[in-house]
Amino acid sequence: MHAGRPLWVRYDLDAVKRAVRRDDLRSRPQTMWRYRELLPYEDERDVISLGETMTPLLECDRLAQHFGVRRLIIKDESRLPTGSFKSRGMALAVTLAQALGVTRVAAPTAGNAGGALAAYAAKAGLECFIFMPDDTPIVNQREAALFGAKAFLVNGLISDCGRIVREGAAGAEGNPARGGRGGEGRGGWFDMSTLREPYRLEGKKTMGLELAEQMGWTLPDVILYPTGGGTGLIGMWKAFAELSALGWLEAATRPRMFACQASGCAPIVNAFDAGERFAQPIENARTIASGLRVPGALGDFMILDAVRASGGRAMAADEDRLIEWMRLAGGLEGVSLCPESAACLDVLERALRAGHVGTQETIVLFNTGAAQKYVEAMAAELPRIDHRAVEWENMRA
């Protein structure tokens, strides 16, 4: 029983140490499954995969120059299946759900989680139910339906969607995944909400494992991470602890973790500033960065603990500047930056100005999704041209 609190997967790291050396990874496929000793599945044949490729580290020299910093790297998660890093968590969660005999899954979402769950559920042949607030970005609504989920719009918040999913989920006793008979909940499905379900965290953890390996088993000075539910940040912090226990890291120092939120929904920032361990839920949360629109995170204390232990901070971006930052990254680097990660650039500017980040430090920013999924945020009218009377002078002006 977990009393509604998050579950935490532990590994016998001594056994892992004996089973694998970090150099053994070199010959493995370039996907998140290369870290299998640090993932909870047992049988290779159970893996539900859509090709979770390792994502590149993009050296962003022009953007670095804009900020006056020595080295700025974007880890570009936008090219994962369904265009966001949510696929890392869902690939593993669906793999485990299916292996444990679950046939029906459900989740609340205000953004990319729904499409990712729907896609992996489709691949696994599971029935999938998605509940989202009616102001969820249009692409997220339609992708869930496209991948065959039974997707519903709810005239409420993500927390209302979460309640519908909980009510419809089998109780712990009735849950076939925990040895019960199943089906007691009204919807008869398994609740895949992040941190209520323990494996999405383990999947997102692979961001941290991958980053360490790609940087030659060293870590950057600073990580800027767009934080909603916090699964990615908590997962990476867990990854660094596990790598450190295995003795795989070249140095003992860990990155300072910056939890970046948007001013329209910044509960973690409020708690950080107030010195609290738990966050007060935000009312009337509003931000175009839908992945950050999490008014009350179940793992709030885990985010805040990790941020503080790392010597980092939680900081809020100016909501009104998100599109400007998306354009800057797109125009200078050709990076398809999602509004959530645009918040990290605003935070970077503030953190540099306040001296929380130094110009000589190595900074890694996670681009958690593709800008193309946010057509509402991208909506810019282009000037029209009459092909019969092209006016070169006006175009050059």
Ligand X SMILES: *Cc1c(COP(=O)(O)O)cnc(C)c1O
> Least distance to ligand X from the beta carbon of 201, Å?
9
What backbone phi and psi angles, to 5 degrees, belong to 177? Answer: -70, -20
262 sits in which H/E element: strand 256-262
Q: Where are the alpha helices (DSSP H) in 172-249?
A: 199-214, 231-246
290 three-state secondary structure: helix
**Residue nearer to ligand X on the CB measure, 185 or 228:** 228
**Residue nearer to ligand X on the CB measure, 208 or 226:** 226
Q: What are the CA-CA distances from residue 8 to residues 79, 110, 177, 334, 349 (Å)? A: 28, 24, 16, 38, 34
> Least distance to ligand X from the beta carbon of 288, Å?
11
Give yes or no for residue 133 binding ligand X (CB under 6 A): no
**Residue nearer to ligand X on the CB measure, 47 or 201:** 201
* 82, 84, 87, 136: which one binds ligand X (CB under 6 A): 84
Burial class of 167 by CB neighbour count within 10 A (0 to 12, 13 to 18, 19+) = exposed
Q: Binding to ligand X (CB under 6 A): which residues in 278-317?
A: 291
CA separation for the pair 155, 376 (Å, rounded) = 19
Nearest to 228 by CA among 316, 121, 164, 118: 316
**Residue nearer to ligand X on the CB measure, 108 or 232:** 232
Q: How many chain residues touch ligand X (CB under 6 A)?
A: 16
Q: Binding to ligand X (CB under 6 A): which residues in 232-261?
A: 232
Q: Binding to ligand X (CB under 6 A): which residues in 88-127?
A: 111-112
Q: Binding to ligand X (CB under 6 A): which residues in 198-227?
A: 226-227
> Least distance to ligand X from the beta carbon of 110, Å?
9
> Least distance to ligand X from the beta carbon of 369, Å?
3
By beta carbon distance, the residue nearest ligand X is 291
Burial class of 222 by CB neighbour count within 10 A (0 to 12, 13 to 18, 19+) = buried
**Residue nearer to ligand X on the CB measure, 185 or 229:** 229
* Cβ neighbours of residue 252 closer than 8 Å, sequence gap 6 or more: 244
Q: Binding to ligand X (CB under 6 A): which residues in 360-379?
A: 368-369
- Beta strand 256-262 with 222-226 is parallel
CB 147 within 8 A of CB 122: yes
CA separation for the pair 167, 20 (Å, rounded) = 42
Give yes or no for residue 264 binding ligand X (CB under 6 A): no
Give yes or no for residue 229 binding ligand X (CB under 6 A): yes
**Residue nearer to ligand X on the CB measure, 60 or 201:** 201
> Least distance to ligand X from the beta carbon of 291, Å?
3
> Least distance to ligand X from the beta carbon of 294, Å?
7
* Cβ neighbours of residue 210 closer than 8 Å, sequence gap 6 or more: 32, 35, 54, 55
Q: Binding to ligand X (CB under 6 A): which residues in 328-347?
A: 338, 340
- Note the residues at the interface with ligand X (CB under 6 A): 84, 86, 111-112, 226-232, 291, 338, 340, 368-369
